[in-house]
Amino acid sequence: MRVTTAFNRLLRLPGASVIDVSFTAEGVIVSVRLRRRRRVCSRCGQTGRLAIHGRRVKRWRHLDLGANRCIIECELRRLWCRSCGAQFEAVPWARAGSRYTRDFEDVVAWLAQQMAKTPIAGLLRIAWDTVGRIVERVVADHLDERRLAGLVAIGVDEISYRRHHRYLTSVVDHRTGAIVWCAAGRNAATLQRFFDELGDRKTSIRAVSIDMSGGYEKAIRDNLPGAEIAFDPFHVVRLGQRAVDQVRRDEWNAHERSHTPKGRWIKGTRWSLLKAPDKQSIPQLALLGEVAHANKALYRAFLLKRNSGCSTSSRTPRSRPRTWTPGWPGPPARAYAPSSGSRARSAATAPASSPPSDSASPTAASRASTAASASSATAASASTPPTPSSPSSTSAAPASRSNCRDDLHHRITRSAEVAWDQRRDVARDGTRRLA
């Protein structure tokens, strides 16, 4: 087999035939010729009787052959285009104005998705700035102009670079999962450029998911007044957890921090309040039962976070009916509404109620115990799924781990109530004997 035939099969350059191969200190130089005789402008693609203004040999860097660089060279005609002026004719194996072949640039663009520019420049032996210019050409070549048509549900989020000093706003199509638009910045003006580029096509958008950013919400309200805005569950959960933790910090400061046993006990309740009951350990559930009676403000903040949709549990079926805390003004209008965070955050301003004293009247003590039992029963019913029943079998289905934890949580809360009542009765009897 001749060398030219071997390199024709090895390189598979479209529209070219290998005529010579030479091995030099610079690398492997492969000389090719165009099979096409038609004159085509490399910039605008215009064809026809374009005047020839000379010929010149051009080179393109191709993928390396082992440890040697591979260079493609070809003699091209310099054409005169009425629209673009003097331009070289187009070649099918390289993009216009590029000194690298399409295969080489495609590899660089793929590596740019996997690693930074510096290792790419060292691996392929090119300049650091060249990586960015290659990526721009590849993206412009593969960018689908129809990507912005027919958008129904989109998501808007930002990503940081340069050590969180600069940001990019990305818009993704939830139907395909692909990024359809991206620009520098993370404010209302940045997202406004996206809607300006959409034009009349933005009327097809029905829902937008964001990360509770005020700038994004303003741009969406101005351009899509009828679209639904859904907040990212991660940020909603984080907002609810921050509100609960703020209540815990306020209680910790009110009880002289860690200088008193009460303050140290409040400090240790953090994970019992932030974690979902179905993910807690037995000691954490027992501590949560103590919180239900020893500190009403903390337990109220926990119930508000759990019943307002700010739960970290991922095992709750969608078909399960949601139970709301007594006194809660009904479910929000839509999932992850802005009022969820403000209602959970309002727990920080709620007055802290101390546990009932030993000298309290039996009526007041029983009323407080009844209220605590109702709150505990509400929390247990909110996290306990209905037991499936079968008409052909009278035995109950085996309980899952989540059901067992919820039942244990209810039992611990109930046993804590009984222990509290017994302790109060003993203290009352001791007071009577001393009198």
Q: Hey, what are 32's tokens?
A: 């090719």
pLDDT in the model for residue 237? 86
pLDDT in the model for residue 405? 53
Per DSSP, the three-state class of 172 is strand
330-342 average pLDDT score: 38
Determine, yes or no, domain membership for 323. Answer: no
Determine, yes or no, domain membership for 111. Answer: no
Total number of domains constituting the chain: 3
Q: What is the pLDDT of residues 366-375, one digit of tens each?
A: 333 333 343 3
Place of tokens 């050409």: 137
Q: Of 77, 96, 115, which residue is a domain's last?
A: 96
Mean pLDDT of the chain: 76
Which residue segment(s) compose the domain that 415 sits in? Answer: 234-316+332-384+399-434
User: Quick one: how far is CA 70 from the chain centroid?
Assistant: 42
Nearest Cα to Cα of residue 127 among 82, 178, 61 = 61
306-317 average pLDDT score: 55
Q: Hey, what are 153's tokens?
A: 């549900």
Asked if residue 212 and residue 87 are part of one domain, the reply reads no
Q: What is the pLDDT of residues 15-57, one digit of tens each?
A: 899 999 999 999 999 999 998 888 888 777 778 778 878 888 9
Q: Hey, what are 280's tokens?
A: 């807690």
Residue 357's identity, in one-letter code, is S
What's this model's pTM, rounded to 2 decimal places?
0.55
Q: Of 231, 264, 298, which residue is a domain's last?
A: 231
Q: Quick check: 8 and 17 in contact, CB under 8 A?
A: yes
Q: Hey, what are 124's tokens?
A: 């392929």
Q: Of 193, 209, 231, which residue is a domain's last?
A: 231
